[in-house]
Chain A
Amino acid sequence: MLGLQIVLRSCRAAQKGSIRKISALYITGDKANENYATLQPYLDFAGTFDEAASLEQSIASRGLDISVESVFRKYQKYQTHHEQLQRVVGEREAVTKNLKEVTKKGGSELQIEELKEQGKTLRNDLKALKQALYPIEDDFIHDFLHLPNRLHAQCPTGDREVLLYRHSLPGSTSNVPSHLERKDLIHFVDNNRYYMMEQAAHFDVNAMQSLGRYFVTKGDFVQTANPDFVRCVLLEANATPLADYHMVREEHLQNKINTAYLTGGAAFESYLGAMTKLCVYPSVLPLRYVCCGRSYNRAEAQHYGPTPSLYTATQTNAVQSFVATQTADEANAQLEHILSLAIDFYKALDVPFRIVYAPAASLTPSESLRAVIEVYAPSLQRYVCVGRISNYGDFVSKRILFSTRREKHYDFLHLVGGPVLYTTRLIAALLEHNIRLVDCKLVGASSSGGKPTMEQDLQQFKDLFT
């Protein structure tokens, strides 16, 4: 219980730490000289404030220190100023139009001068109003962007996780030696640097490839390979705490506030790059993607310390899932689909694991629900996360403009996804369970890959003569 409270506190701290004074996601006009806006997020004011009760409940359950009422007041102030500005814009346009007509009809000079003066005054008013609006807009929009997603009905609002699935119970043996004792297989330097040898190294590659393949063949997913850097604008769109990833120092960075972070290709955020501003035909939905690659999340490690080990390492091979659907119901079904494929994989390994819904307080602001796949780590005597599938609703899609066209409307897509495997932690747990990695059954493993086919034999025979 104490452990959970620490985890929750660190999550909240991380979330709070991520609040920046300046955002790459929304740049007001006064700052547009030095920084350019790369994306104009869809800001759904009406939809957000219409159901304030569910938003307040989400904020309270997540343990966030945000007052909806205060944000709403800022919204009203912003609206008032914005409307005033729009009025002046309208008046100025009318004067311009009038001036054109009067000039065309050969109106008196006095009349023309009067209109010109009026136009000048309005131009100055507009300039003054804009200057006055920038800080109001800044203040409101940034608070607005920090409002969290609503919670999914299944998300636990209490302090505890809710068990969804469990496979074999952990043994009662205490004082199980750490996987780091296996010096023949693991050379651990620090959280950023470790080496795995022999069967551990083979499992590291094979498990990732097999599960990726299983998602393609059994789950009808499309495989991708993604970039490893994600810029700040997307981390903000996804409400990812910036401290989760290492920042990359780039020479000649044009947009100083849109810096790059090392997420790894098998990170959810990496998929967002390909989805930003993308409008897809409904025929490709549900869009199911899976990717094998690296993940470099350094925040999760804090949960499994203080002793550094493979459980706390930043780098891991991972399998990442990403699904976009048109409706919330389809998103729910896809989350189940991903979990059922993951269950097949972990069941075949016959390692004690469970799937839980994480409590609201541990979610990032964009998640509405998170299912966590956890294997039992004997040396820590607790479950550790080897995957986590989240439902984001259309919260993130609105921010990155990921949509589909329905008649004349844009429907923002519902996103579901997350890593289904972190190989490093799984290897650590398997070793502590005394499971021989070479004996592990990997669903999705290619049956023919390991043995040469007749064609290969023939080729090798031919090669003898070339």
Chain B
Amino acid sequence: MKLLTNAQKLLLLLRRQRSSRTTTVQAHDPSAAGQPALTSAQLDELEKNVELRHHRNNVPLIRKLIEASVRGDRSVEQQLEEELGQLPNATHPRLLDYGDQPRELAQHVQREMPLKPKEFSELARALNLYRMDHLGNYTGHKSYYLTGHLATLEQAIIQYALQSVTKHGFRLISVPDILPKEVIESCGMRTEGERTQVYKLDTGECLSGTSEMALAGFFANKVLPEEELPLKVTAVSRCYRAETSGLQEEKGIYRVHQFTKVEMFAICTPTQSEAELEEFKNIEVDLFKQLGINFRLLDMPPCELGSPAYQKYDIEAWMPGRQMWGEISSCSNCTDYQAKRLAVKYLRASDGQVQHAHTINGTATAIPRLLIALLESYQKGDSVEIPTVLRPFMDGQEFIARSKRIPETKLVKFIKAA
């Protein structure tokens, strides 16, 4: 199946179709010669893909705009470009018969769960490791403080993840968290509208939702030699998400507006991207195996891919305190969806042609949910055991117990002047 799914290509086709009536096909672009016009059948296929992914169906509008454009109405071209830009990526054929449900590929059971497990908030509050109450007016909705050894554990997880991924050849990059909205939109994230997940600043710039955006932006307009691919990078960043949730199962730090994440990102050739995604998946599986939590690997159905992904794996950890599986990691192959929007290209070694690259992204560790999974899985009475692989980053410490040095949350309403 060859779906034409990106704005530039479709528009180019339209323009060529128009120009071919009056002039000849441009010689410097041999691919355009004999290129068929965008047919109704292709639009049908695009629409099928949109529906499969439960995406907003703008294909009928696109049809109308194309008709207007073919008739010579140039005023609609920009709108057409915008609508085409909002079409999702193509979908991996493997997923076509998945329906709306993910397929469980593996389940890793590594430890026995505690008999009467406490939920993270209860556990962390009892051990004086966290505070989330009465903060909305001061540090914002769903803000939280990690205190004592839980904050140290956060840094240990970052070190552990960095050590693991750099061993796999990922190169560390420090990334910006404040980005122009164009970069964010090029990654397939909308910055306008009621339900946008993107925070905006007084300057009009946006806060990055994941370092994937900054990393993709870093390689924008670059042409990389094929020998350098796959180019694998990693970043530690703060992620800002305006999304919110009132769901009981997402209470506490499960879904928050700000968190730290170690991200993996790769730029590769179209022939490398599928294997690269498998490597991302294997690294993630290995990271969580070493951490000794129980988790499962899911192959996500088309409706869960968002706009940019061609295929996506999720990893869900068992959170015994909540008695539920919670997503702690994922990795996606975005093929050329982001690369085309950001003009990330490579120089093909065989013929010296400049081609669009493919991009892969994946989570090494996202802190809050991993903390939930770790604390709930490793609780032992009045303490929490520290996973073996994290101990070297915590001076060999084996357990986290209640700290008496951290004050309890006792609040006053007001204090009257004497």
Instruction: Write the residues of chain A forming the contact surface with B, with a CB cutoff of 8 angstroms.
Output: 38-40, 42-46, 187, 189, 192-198, 200-202, 204-205, 209, 212-213, 216-217, 222-231, 233-234, 246-251, 255, 258, 260, 262, 264-265, 270, 272-274, 276-281, 283-284, 287, 291-294, 296, 314-315, 317, 401, 403, 410, 446, 448-453, 455-456, 459, 463, 466
Contacts and interface: CB of A to CB of B under 8 A. Distances in A.
A187 B391 contact: no
Contacts of A196: 173-174
Given A192-B205, A448-B396, A456-B388, A284 B406 contact: yes
Interface stretch (B90-98, B309-317, B339-347, B408-416): B408-416
A324 to B, nearest CB: 9
A69 B162 CA distance: 59
Nearest to B146: A225
Q: What size tier do the contact residues of chain B reach?
A: 35 or more
Interface string B149-170: 1111011001100110000000
Of B143, B174, B391, B392, the most chain A CB neighbours within 10 A belong to B174
For the complex of A and B, 3 pairs with smallest distance between CB atoms: A273-B139, A227-B143, A38-B137
A262 B201 contact: yes
A460 to B, nearest CB: 8
B391 A453 contact: yes
B194 interface: yes
A224 B143 CA distance: 13
A223 B175 CA distance: 24
A453 B177 contact: no
B413 to A, nearest CB: 7
Contacts of A276: 138
Given A195-B218, A403-B415, A209 B155 contact: yes
A463 B135 contact: no
Contacts of A193: 176, 178-180
B112 interface: no
Given A198-B172, A401-B412, 10 more contacts: A193-B178, A201-B173, A217-B395, A223-B155, A229-B257, A234-B138, A248-B201, A250-B242, A284-B405, A403-B412
Contacts of B391: 453, 455
Contact of B137 (A194, A195, A205, A258): A258
Given A192-B178, A222-B403, A403-B412, A456 B392 contact: yes
A315 B171 contact: no
A255 B138 CA distance: 11
B131 interface: yes
A279 B412 contact: yes
Contact of A260 (B140, B174, B413): B140
Interface string B172-193: 1111111110000000000000
Contacts of B334: none
B30 interface: no
B129 to A, nearest CB: 10
B389 A459 contact: yes
B143 A273 contact: yes
